[in-house]
Structure 1
């Protein structure tokens, strides 16, 4: 029988050795050991403050050290004291207390701020007003929504400081890897777009939560429930006391093979502000790589951004047909032409993917009428029946954010003697695409774009290590 060792949670410190005696040094290595220990040990002891572990032994370090705080927080992130488990969601009885100290706030760029920056910030407010009026937009309305967002953001930041948490605020232009490394928790202040931005640079286990700072003007599907915009102190106290559930949202990892895929993503938001066409930006960067002015990376490499919602692959000019080869779950490569391909996570299944594939009640009614005519059936076509059928089909398009599958959709597939699309949509664990396009993009969460032209190969998979830690509150 294996020899079991026990340790009280407060003593579960930074230095960890495997049974073979090898010192585990890096954060990622520690997480793997801790997760393996947790998965084997849960339920083996009855004391909630003691966990039996089978594969690691512990040495003590200074409880006040920064390393101790980080390890304790990471331990919390990886569920070493679960009290229940439901579809990869974990509840905890232990608290953060002093182990959560650094909170990074990432606020949204409001439409008002965007319009002020759009032409280099040189316009007067009256010039902006006239320009917006010509487009049928109201500057006063934008200023009012900006005021709501700013007031809620400042109030939430004051609450974080009141709770004794060190708080830093970074805009999208200064949100970088160093800022993520500093943070124990990242709080996006905005809507779903801001949450996606905040999550985009998190490649470790740092948790991200979202506050919808304008519930009247933003959906905030990925954020905490809208009532916590105004009860943010209650939300943070629940988080600090451990009264919440973890939701590990799966993300898509993209491995590319092709020398002409840019190393760093093109930020589409910055592109809008600087105002060149997307086409010219990609062409200029590709030309620079051909000339040796920008670095070309040889061999397969993992892109530095994970997709929380979806990936789009296709020609940058939407009116142009996309040509590529596609393989699903190690099946044969199939030549296809279409308006591009979307690959969605469970989190993104309620977004673009859903709206591409959903059936309207009108379409369902037409199908039922044709079925009756062709088969002599007498299927009901009343509105209530049609609505139930449409809802049932549309509900089948949605799946949980913790689900390790991807949903792919071939948009407007061309089907003829040369090009086939036998399965224009479905679920997959692995998708490989080889580009045959001339000006194509691989776009992650509508914000990060990579050149994806003829010969480039992208492999899309979900890896549990890439899952994003988020918080659920009832």
Structure 2
């Protein structure tokens, strides 16, 4: 077996993006000042991430390989079975990374634990360093203590598929009315026109899904490790040819929600990453169910 590879995932800082856009630090500082902010604030967050990345790079065991990837390039990166993933950033970056993995353990590392606490980024840079130093062999890497968080997967009838750790959205690309036929796991069917559907895991049940559930009277949502999903239709519009009676429910393991497209096209994306999406045209069927590859988050 090949030696483990530590893959460090991070995203560009706001300071880096400001310098890309405004060319000089002085112009970036002026831009921030016009919006009531200071360059010192942005520099502080940049420094914390830079320091955290330096700590993790220095902690890679000598016999391990190492790779580094930015969020923008995740969809083009080839992960392997021997990888251990170190996500350095906030919770959203863990979710963005999860959809490209096939069971590799993920260490969520928070560069600013005292300022921006997270649920998925559970380790400080120092704690992650100790964890890596204690995990020096391939066998040890395979037996990292992990919590398995459920995922959700959408598939098109042409074989394309996409997964999410928080939720899958299906709807019109500009969030206008989406038209489709919905079929529930128990065989009930309805033509609908709505602002789209959300199918959420327990991890996503504290975000977008939670706001919808609250408006509907507080449906009981799954926990992150539950083998169950919750689905909601947003703003279904009743008309002579469309209904609004099938607007929420649960998906247990093995159950499938089916959406048959009745618009020119609908888009499918996960965890808010609209740039990485599937497109389904008129007549295509989209099936959504519990994902087969849970995220293995190192405890």
TM over 0.5: yes
1:125 aligns with 2:25: yes
Higher Cα radius of gyration: 1
Residue 180 of structure 1 aligns to a residue whose secondary structure is coil
Provide the rounded CA distance (Å) in 2 between the counterparts of 1:210 and 1:335: 42
Could you tell me whether the CA contact under 8 Å between 1:341 and 1:411 is conserved in 2? Answer: yes
Change (3 A) 1:231 1:468: closer
1:215 aligns with 2:113: yes
User: How far is 1:439 from its partner?
Assistant: 5.8
Provide the rounded CA distance (Å) in 2 between the counterparts of 1:357 and 1:417: 27
- Structure 2 counterpart of 1:302, from 155, 160, 166: 160
Q: Deviations over 1:302-337 (max 9, x none)?
A: 32x42111111112223x222221111152431112
Match of 1:469 in 2: 296
Provide the rounded CA distance (Å) in 2 between the counterparts of 1:167 and 1:338: 46
Provide the rounded CA distance (Å) in 2 between the counterparts of 1:126 and 1:339: 43
Provide the rounded CA distance (Å) in 2 between the counterparts of 1:177 and 1:316: 23
Provide the rounded CA distance (Å) in 2 between the counterparts of 1:344 and 1:239: 33
User: How far is 1:178 from its partner?
Assistant: 5.5
Provide the rounded CA distance (Å) in 2 between the counterparts of 1:312 and 1:169: 29
Could you tell me whether the CA contact under 8 Å between 1:105 and 1:186 is conserved in 2? Answer: yes
Match of 1:459 in 2: 287
Could you tell me whether the CA contact under 8 Å between 2:160 and 2:278 is conserved in 1? Answer: no
Match of 1:312 in 2: 169
User: How far is 1:164 from its partner?
Assistant: 5.0
User: How far is 1:219 from its partner?
Assistant: 4.1
Change (3 A) 1:223 1:344: same
Could you tell me whether the CA contact under 8 Å between 1:177 and 1:201 is conserved in 2? Answer: no
Provide the rounded CA distance (Å) in 1 between the counterparts of 2:262 and 2:114: 44
Change (3 A) 1:326 1:168: same
- Structure 1 counterpart of 2:187, from 331, 337, 345: 331
Match of 2:13 in 1: 110
5+ residue gaps, structure 1: 1-65, 70-99, 258-299, 365-392
Match of 2:94 in 1: 195
Provide the rounded CA distance (Å) in 1 between the counterparts of 2:34 and 2:72: 29
Match of 2:259 in 1: 433
Provide the rounded CA distance (Å) in 1 between the counterparts of 2:144 and 2:84: 15
5+ residue gaps, structure 2: none
1:349 aligns with 2:198: no
Change (3 A) 1:330 1:301: farther
**When the two structures are superposed, what TM-score results if normalisation uses the length of structure 2?**
0.84
Match runs of 1:338-417 below 5 Å: 338-358=194-214, 393=218, 396-397=220-221, 399-417=222-240
Match of 1:46 in 2: none
User: How far is 1:220 from its partner?
Assistant: 2.3
User: How far is 1:114 from its partner?
Assistant: 2.7
User: How far is 1:188 from its partner?
Assistant: 0.6
Provide the rounded CA distance (Å) in 1 between the counterparts of 2:121 and 2:265: 35
Could you tell me whether the CA contact under 8 Å between 1:198 and 1:208 is conserved in 2? Answer: no
Could you tell me whether the CA contact under 8 Å between 1:255 and 1:301 is conserved in 2? Answer: yes
Q: Please state which structure has a larger fraction of its residues in strand.
A: 2
Q: Deviations over 1:16-64 (max 9, x none)?
A: xxxxxxxxxxxxxxxxxxxxxxxxxxxxxxxxxxxxxxxxxxxxxxxxx
Change (3 A) 1:142 1:216: farther
User: How far is 1:181 from its partner?
Assistant: 1.7
User: How far is 1:346 from its partner?
Assistant: 1.9
Match runs of 1:217-232 below 5 Å: 217-225=115-123, 228-232=124-128
Match of 1:378 in 2: none
User: How far is 1:238 from its partner?
Assistant: 6.0
Change (3 A) 1:333 1:174: same
**When the two structures are superposed, what TM-score results if normalisation uses the length of structure 1?**
0.55
Q: Which is bigger in relative contact order (C-alpha 8 A, separation at least 6)?
A: 2
Residue 335 of structure 1 aligns to a residue whose secondary structure is strand
